[in-house]
Structure 1
């Protein structure tokens, strides 16, 4: 005997909301569209009825009227805790709006972006895109777009929100040198290399040179795979010319560097100092006490969302917001000697 599927609960309609609120269907429609001239009293009355009846507007139907009130977020990876900070900022920006954020994960902005466009999302935020300006401009020509972590601004027809990555790297090296460390290596990312990586490596090189340590420049790279990071750090720490400090391009890599150094029974920071990037919540943990460069992921997410909604509302001129980083010093890089 074939088991019958449970009957679906009938979907509440806009007419039922209007009847419950004691207003016209047109009035409910204006509230849903966030139309000009809607009073706070009308908005509150309609919202109360929608909440009471558990009414949810069909995204597809709203898309036919112009907007779906959905935004697409594309992350390159969800293992990095810094991306959670960005998502918190996005949600904070959307708190008092009708918009909802839908997220996906993709190293490249290809099929996932096309799927989001096909689903009539109103705009996209790409986090750390490994894409050319040509490709990003192509996307921006079809849908409002903001990129977080993309420094190539030449002829950009989209908005960007960036941390000053070059300055952040310089601050990390300067901090280590001021605390007595002279052989500072950088643990960077192997391909695909983004404009963020390029800027941080450039900042590292420039500051090492300015500190008179150009001969000690040492950039090692590893894929963002924990096992590969561990092997790379182990080789670095077991080398004959071992550095006395490592500047890691993310906290995620820095935590692994701390783990490997601990396994090798090296003292932090006496034998090896470690600095990360992102100042994620795990830096505060007693087993890490990680010095890190704070670029405020929440601010990046909040500002990207603000710019995207402005784009959706009609702004066409590109804007580029930059966050100034700062050093948050902890025990992993304390003064030695």
Structure 2
């Protein structure tokens, strides 16, 4: 009888050892690894128990030669925004009972870097790709989708036919913000938006802000400032707004991560939140609830976005070709940062 580990390559546990430990054939283990049709739950549980016991990990390169690596590529714009952690939680929850593992890349919100990261994921034979906040063109995304199943989170393109999208209704979310601020007595409402490569998310939010202002009869007060997502630039843009000749009495920020910095700058300038300036974020991340922040924000259900995107990309991997565009309705969560009442 062969000793445990005999004949291993690179010290890895082999499929034969798993079969011997589980008391089944090598073919049965192979079927479990491939999620083959007709495998009973009892057999699956027995083989999985042996894999866990022995620490067996399928060799990704070998799986790739057989056509599937059970890895998904997830491309994030950056690591600083806590909202992306919510999406990651949803992705991980969706993968909990599957064989898939997720590999992450960072695009820094630039199309050139994003293309490089995606090309690397394709070269490494990942089975599908999820892009968050992509700045790629329709043509580029179509090209990716011809090579790998693709889902884009935060990319508004309801006419796309080769890839799926998962979005919050960003225009409606921004409209809810303006309506809320007007109802709370604010009139000089500015928006702090992201400067950089075009993004359908920001375009939709800016459109919703404009719609809300016009709807409230405040079209003449529309004021959209732009800043890169660099803290010193955000601070500069905020000071320019709050120390300008026509200081806004409320600022709607494109994300919570930025809104928290705006609160910090306003406080540093001696302004009271919400009495002197109301502040609203977007994403409803966990930091909004901290007492020192108490930030009003739009909840776009980050975990749900991650869950749905993962569901869609696995469906694509399994052969679905019909396009799906999933949209989450936004919900405004009011907190102390906008509690001022008119009169």
In the alignment, structure 1 residue 236 sits paired with structure 2 residue 241: yes
CA contact (8 A) 1:137 1:157 kept: yes
Q: CA RMSD in A?
A: 1.0
Aligned to 2:330: 325
Aligned to 1:69: 70
Q: Give the paired residue count.
A: 330
Structure 1: 4+ residue segments shifted above 3 A: none
Aligned to 2:93: 92
The alpha carbon displacement at 1:52 in A equals 0.9
Q: Which of the numbers 178, 189, 194 marks the counterpart of 1:189?
A: 194
Aligned to 1:56: 57
Aligned to 1:179: 184
In the alignment, the residues of structure 1 paired with residue 285 and residue 39 of structure 2 have an alpha-carbon distance, to the nearest angstrom, of 41
The alpha carbon displacement at 1:329 in A equals 0.4
The alpha carbon displacement at 1:193 in A equals 2.4
Q: Which of the numbers 134, 138, 145 marks the counterpart of 1:133?
A: 138
Aligned to 1:21: 22
In the alignment, the residues of structure 2 paired with residue 55 and residue 86 of structure 1 have an alpha-carbon distance, to the nearest angstrom, of 29
The alpha carbon displacement at 1:294 in A equals 0.4
Aligned to 2:231: 226
Aligned to 1:101: 102
Q: Which of the numbers 280, 293, 296 marks the counterpart of 1:291?
A: 296
In the alignment, the residues of structure 2 paired with residue 246 and residue 315 of structure 1 have an alpha-carbon distance, to the nearest angstrom, of 43
In the alignment, structure 1 residue 203 sits paired with structure 2 residue 208: yes
CA contact (8 A) 1:133 1:156 kept: no
Aligned to 2:259: 254
Q: Which of the numbers 123, 146, 153 marks the counterpart of 2:151?
A: 146
CA contact (8 A) 2:166 2:309 kept: yes
The alpha carbon displacement at 1:335 in A equals 2.7
The alpha carbon displacement at 1:93 in A equals 0.3
For structure 1, the residue ranges without an aligned partner over 5 or more in a row are 1-7
In the alignment, the residues of structure 1 paired with residue 225 and residue 49 of structure 2 have an alpha-carbon distance, to the nearest angstrom, of 58
In the alignment, the residues of structure 2 paired with residue 194 and residue 185 of structure 1 have an alpha-carbon distance, to the nearest angstrom, of 19
In the alignment, the residues of structure 2 paired with residue 60 and residue 32 of structure 1 have an alpha-carbon distance, to the nearest angstrom, of 14
Aligned to 2:32: 31
Aligned to 1:121: 126
In the alignment, structure 1 residue 170 sits paired with structure 2 residue 175: yes
CA contact (8 A) 2:157 2:165 kept: no
In the alignment, the residues of structure 1 paired with residue 122 and residue 92 of structure 2 have an alpha-carbon distance, to the nearest angstrom, of 21
SS at match of 1:293: strand
For structure 2, the residue ranges without an aligned partner over 5 or more in a row are 1-8
SS at match of 2:91: helix
CA contact (8 A) 1:182 1:244 kept: yes
In the alignment, the residues of structure 2 paired with residue 271 and residue 16 of structure 1 have an alpha-carbon distance, to the nearest angstrom, of 69
CA contact (8 A) 2:142 2:162 kept: yes
Residues 229-270 of structure 1: CA deviation (Å, up to 9, x unaligned): 000001100112111100111001101110000001101111
CA contact (8 A) 2:235 2:262 kept: yes
Residues 213-236 of structure 1: CA deviation (Å, up to 9, x unaligned): 001100000001111000000110
The alpha carbon displacement at 1:9 in A equals 6.5
Aligned to 2:276: 271
SS at match of 1:48: helix
Residues 9-65 of structure 1: CA deviation (Å, up to 9, x unaligned): 621100111011110000000000000000011001111111111111101111111
CA contact (8 A) 2:71 2:126 kept: yes
